[in-house]
Amino acid sequence: MTELAGLSGILGAWYDFRDLNNLQRLITEWIADWGPDWLASIVTGLLGALGILGVIGPTLLVLIWVERKVIARFQQRYGPNRVGPKGLLQPVADAVKLILKEQLAPRAADKLIFFLPPVLIFIPGILIWGVLPFGPRMSVADLNVGVLFLLAVSGTAVLVIFMAGWSSNNKYALLGAMRAVAMSISYEVPMVLALLTLVVFSGTMSINGIVEWQQQEDVIFILLFPLTALVFFFAASAELNRTPADISEAESEIVAGYHTEYSGMRFGLFYAVELGNTLVVSGFIATFFLGGWWMWGLDEWVPSWIILLAKTGAVYFLLIWTRGTLPRLRVDQLMSLCWKALVPATLLFVVVAFVQRTLLISEGWDTTIALPIMAVINIGLSLGAIMLFARVARPADLRRPARIRMAGAEIGGLRAARSVAARSEEPQFQVGGD
Amino acid sequence: MTTRYDAEAAAALVNDAISGAACVDDGDLYLDSTRLVDAVRVLRDGGESDLVFLCNLTAVDYERHFEVVYHLQSLDLNHILTVKARLHDHEDPALPSLTGLFHGAHLQEREVYDLFGIRFDGHPNLQRMFLWDGFPGYPLRKNFLQMPGDVRAGLPGFPHESEENAWPVPGSVPQRPYHPNDPAPPSDVAAVEGEEAS
Amino acid sequence: MSEFGFHLAFWSLAAMTIGGASMIMVSRNLIHAVVWLVLSMLGVAGLYLTLSADFIAVVQVLIYVGAISVLMLFAIMLTPRAERDNSSSLKTAGPAGVVVIMVMIATFWVAIDTDWGSVREAALTDQARLIGESLIKHYILPFEIGAVLLTAALVGAIALAREDDEDAAVHAASLQAELDGREFDPVDVVDPPLPAVLTAELPAEPESEART
Amino acid sequence: MTTSDDTRLAMQGTIEALTAGAGSEPVVVNLGPQHPSTHGVFRLKVTLDGEIVQDAEMRIGYLHRSMEKLAEERTYTQNIPFTDRIDYLAAMSNNLAYCLAVEELLGIEVPPRAQAIRVMFAELQRVASHAMANGTFINDCGAWHTPLFHMFRDRERVLDMFEMTCGARLTTNYMRIGGVAFDLPDDLLPTLERYLADMPENIANYEALLLENEILHARARGVGVISPEMAINSSLSGPVLRATGVPWDLRKANPYCGYEQYEFDVPVGERGDCFDRFLVRMAEVKQSLHILRQVVDSLPEGPYLADVPLHARPEPGEAYARVESPRGELGFYLVSDGGPAPYRFHCRPPSLINLSALKEMSIGGTLADAIVTLGSIDIVVGEIDR
CB within 8 Å: B78 and A411: yes
In chain A, which residues have their Cβ closer than 8 Å to the Cβ of C65?
152, 155-156, 159
Buried b (16+ CB within 10 A) or exposed e, A86-99: ebebbbeebbeebe
- pLDDT > 90 fraction of chain C, expressed in percent and rounded: 15
Which C-chain residues 168-207 have CB contacts (< 8 A) with chain B?
A: 206
Cβ density class D280-300: b for 16+ within 10 Å, e for less: bbbbbbbbbbbbbebbeeeee
Whether D94 shows a pLDDT value over 60: the answer reads yes
Subunit contact B103:D234, Cβ cutoff 8 A: yes
DSSP codes, D169-235: SSS---EETTEESSPPPTTHHHHHHHHHHHHHHHHHHHIIIIIT-HHHHHHHTTSS---HHHHHHTT
**Which of D209, D217, D240, D286 would best serve as a mutation to test chain A binding (most A beta carbons within 10 A)?**
D217
Q: Do the Cβ atoms of C198 and A112 come within 8 Å?
A: no
B151-155, D204-208, D234-238: least confident range: B151-155
Contact A218, A134 (CB under 8 A): no
Test A113 with C203 for CB contact under 8 angstroms.
Answer: no
Question: What is the torsion angle, in degrees rounded to the nearest 10, for the CA atoms of residue A208, residue A211, residue A216 and residue A218?
Answer: -170
Q: Which residues pair with D176 in a beta bridge?
A: D179
Lowest mean pLDDT among A71-80, A408-417, D143-152, D156-165: A408-417
Q: Is residue C182, in this structure, part of any structural domain at all? A: yes
Beta-strand pair A402-406/D267-268? antiparallel
Looking at the DSSP bridge assignments, the partners of residue B4 are: B80
pLDDT tops 70 at residue D137: yes
Residues C195 and D272: beta-carbon distance below 8 Å = yes
Q: Strand order in A429-431's β-sheet? A: A429-431, A402-406, D267-268
For residues A41, A46, A49, A50, the Cα torsion angle rounded to the nearest 10 degrees is: -150
Residues of A within 8 A of B3 (CB-CB) are none
Most confident of the ranges A241-245, B47-51, D238-242: D238-242
Mutation pick from D29, D233, D377 vs chain B, by most beta carbons of B within 10 Å, is: D233
Whole-angstrom Cα distance, residue B6 to residue D227?
30
pLDDT band at C19 (very low <50, low <70, confident <90, very high): very high
Put simply, the answer to whether B75 touches A413 (Cβ < 8 Å) is yes
Spatial CA neighbour of A49 closest among A153, A115, A139? A139
CA-nearest residue to D281 within chain A is: A404
From the list D109, D70, D107, D103, the residue with the least C-alpha distance to D321 is D103
Distances (CA, A) of A117 to A53, A159, C30: 19, 9, 18
Q: Contact, D40 vs D380, CB < 8 A?
A: yes
Residues A54-63 as b or e (16 or more Cβ within 10 Å = b): eebeeebbeb
Distance, CA of C135 to CA of C133 (rounded, Å): 5
Nearest to D141 among A71, A327, A410 (CB): A327
Comparison of pLDDT for D275 and B135, the residue scoring more: D275
Q: Is residue C193 scored above 60 in pLDDT?
A: no
Distance CA D252, CA D231 (A): 19
Task: Please compute the mean of the pLDDT values over residues D273-302 and round it to a whole number.
Answer: 90
Closest CA to B116 of B98, B130, B103, B106: B130
User: What pLDDT score was predicted for residue A5?
Assistant: 46
Q: How confident is the model at residue B52, as a pLDDT?
A: 87
Q: Which residues of B touch A169 (CB under 8 A)?
A: 181
Look at residue B108 and tell me whether its pLDDT is greater than 80: yes
Task: Give the minimum alpha-carbon distance from B2 to chain C in angstroms, rounded to a whole number.
Answer: 8
Report the alpha-carbon distance of residue C44 to residue A357 in Å, rounded: 36
DSSP letter at D50 equals T
Q: Which phi and psi (to 5°) does residue D305 adopt?
A: -145, 130
pLDDT at C1: 47
A58/B151 Cα distance (integer angstroms): 57
Q: Which domains does chain B have, with CATH numbers?
A: 3-121 (3.30.460.80), 146-198 (no CATH)
In the beta sheet, which residues pair with residue B61?
B66
Interchain pair C4, A36: CB under 8 A: yes
Amino acid at B89: D
In the chain, the amino acid numbered A346 is T
Contacts of D11 in chain C (CB under 8 A): 175, 178-179
**Residues in chain C within 8 Å Cβ distance of B76:** 211
- Which region among A393-407, D23-37, D57-71 has the lowest average model confidence (pLDDT)? D23-37
In a domain? residue C69: yes
What's the confidence (pLDDT) of residue C88?
A: 57
Cβ contact C206–B47 (<8 Å): yes
Please classify residue B58 by burial: count the beta carbons closer than 10 Å to its beta carbon, then call 0-12 exposed, 13-18 middle and 19+ buried.
buried
Judge: A148–C32 Cβ closer than 8 Å, yes or no.
Answer: no
Do residue B107 and residue D352 have CB atoms under 8 angstroms apart? yes
For residues D302 and D111, the answer to whether their CB atoms sit within 8 Å is yes
State which residues form the domain around C29: 1-85
Q: What is the pLDDT of residue D179?
A: 86
Task: Compare D90 and A9 and report the one with higher pLDDT.
Answer: D90
Interchain contact, D265 vs A77, CB within 8 Å: no
CA distance B194 to chain A (A): 8
Q: Is D3 on the interface with C (CB under 8 A)?
A: yes
- Closest approach of chain D CAs to the CA of C75, in angstroms? 14
Interface of B with A in 85-124 (CB under 8 A): none
pLDDT at D12: 66
- Whether residue C3 lies inside any domain: the answer is yes
User: How many contacts does B have with D, using Cβ atoms within 8 A?
Assistant: 92
**Ranges of each domain in chain D:** 69-361+372-385
> With contacts defined as CB-CB under 8 Å, which chain D residues touch C168?
18-19, 21
- Backbone dihedral angles phi then psi of residue D75, each to the nearest 5 degrees: -70, 170
- If we measure between CA atoms, which residue out of D289, D294, D293, D331 comes closest to residue D126? D289
The alpha-carbon gap from A405 to the nearest alpha carbon of chain D, in Å, equals: 5
A contact test, residue of B45, B76, B178 with most A CBs within 10 A: B76
Task: Give the residue from A280, A306, A235 showing the smallest Cα distance to A127.
Answer: A280
Q: Which residues does chain D have within 8 Å of residue B78's beta carbon, measured at their own beta carbons? A: 253-254
pLDDT band at D98 (very low <50, low <70, confident <90, very high): very high
* Neighbour tally for D173: CB within 10 Å: 18
Distance, in Å, from the CA atom of A394 to the CA atom of A37, rounded to the nearest integer, reads 60
Q: Could you tell me the CATH number of the domain that includes residue C7?
A: 1.20.120.1200
For residue A260, pLDDT over 80 is answered with: yes
Using an 8 Å CB-CB cutoff, list chain C residues near A414.
197
Q: Is A263 left (phi over 0), alpha (psi -120 to 50) or beta?
A: beta
Q: What number does CATH give the domain D69-361+372-385?
A: 1.10.645.10
Determine the Cα angle at B21 with ends B19 and B23, to 5°. Answer: 105
Smallest CA–CA distance from A168 into chain B, residue: B181
* Residue B170: DSSP 8-state: T
Tell me if chain A has a CB within 8 Å of the CB of B75: yes
Rounded Cα gap, residues A310 and A322, in angstroms: 19
CB contact under 8 A, D232 and B1: no
What is the nearest CA distance from B147 to chain A, expressed in angstroms?
36
Pairing mode, strands B94-96 and B119-121: parallel
- Write down the pLDDT at residue B188: 39
Name which of C164, C197, C202, C212 to mutate to probe chain D: the one with the most chain D Cβ atoms within 10 A of its Cβ: C197
Q: Chain B: give the shortest CA distance to residue D360, in Å.
A: 11
Establish if C154 belongs to a structural domain: no
Cβ-based interface (< 8 Å): residues of B facing C: 1, 3, 47-48, 76-79
Indicate whether C59 belongs to any domain.
Answer: yes
How far is C-alpha D33 from the chain's CA centre?
Answer: 21
Share of chain A above pLDDT 70, in %: 90
Q: Where are the domains of chain A?
A: 2-22+25-33, 101-394, 402-431
pLDDT over threshold 50, residue C9: yes
Phi (first) and psi of residue A144, to 5 degrees: -80, 0
Q: β-strand B28-31 against B22-25: which pairing, if any?
A: antiparallel
Q: Mean of the pLDDT values across residues A261-286? A: 87
Q: Which residues pair with B69 in a beta bridge?
A: B58, B84
Contacts of D202 (CB under 8 A, 6+ apart): D150, D153, D154
User: Which chains does chain B touch, 3 or more C-beta pairs < 8 A?
Assistant: A, C, D
According to the model, what pLDDT value does residue A176 have? 84
Q: What pLDDT is attached to residue C67?
A: 81
Radius of gyration of chain A from Cα atoms? 25
Q: State the Cα–Cα distance between residues B3 and B10, nearest whole angstrom.
A: 14
Quote the mean pLDDT of chain D. Answer: 85
What is the percentage of chain D residues whose pLDDT exceeds 90? 15
Q: Of B46, B45, D245, D236, which is closest to residue A414 (Cα–Cα)?
A: D245
Of residues A169, A362, A323, the one with CA closest to residue A234: A323
Chain B residues with a Cβ under 8 Å from any Cβ in chain D:
1-2, 52-56, 58, 60-61, 69, 71, 75, 78, 82, 102-108, 111, 115, 128-132, 139-140, 144, 178-185
Q: Look at residue C68 and tell me if it is in a domain.
A: yes
Contact C208 B78 (CB under 8 A): no
Distance from the Cα of D254 to chain B's closest Cα (Å) equals 4
Q: Of B70, B74, B111, B152, which to mutate for an interface test with D (greatest number of D Cβ within 10 Å)?
A: B111
What is the domain count for chain C?
Answer: 2
Interface of D with A in 133-152 (CB under 8 A): 138-146, 148-150
For residue A200, pLDDT over 90 is answered with: no
Residue D95, classified by CB atoms within 10 Å of its CB into exposed (0-12), middle (13-18) or buried (19+), is: buried
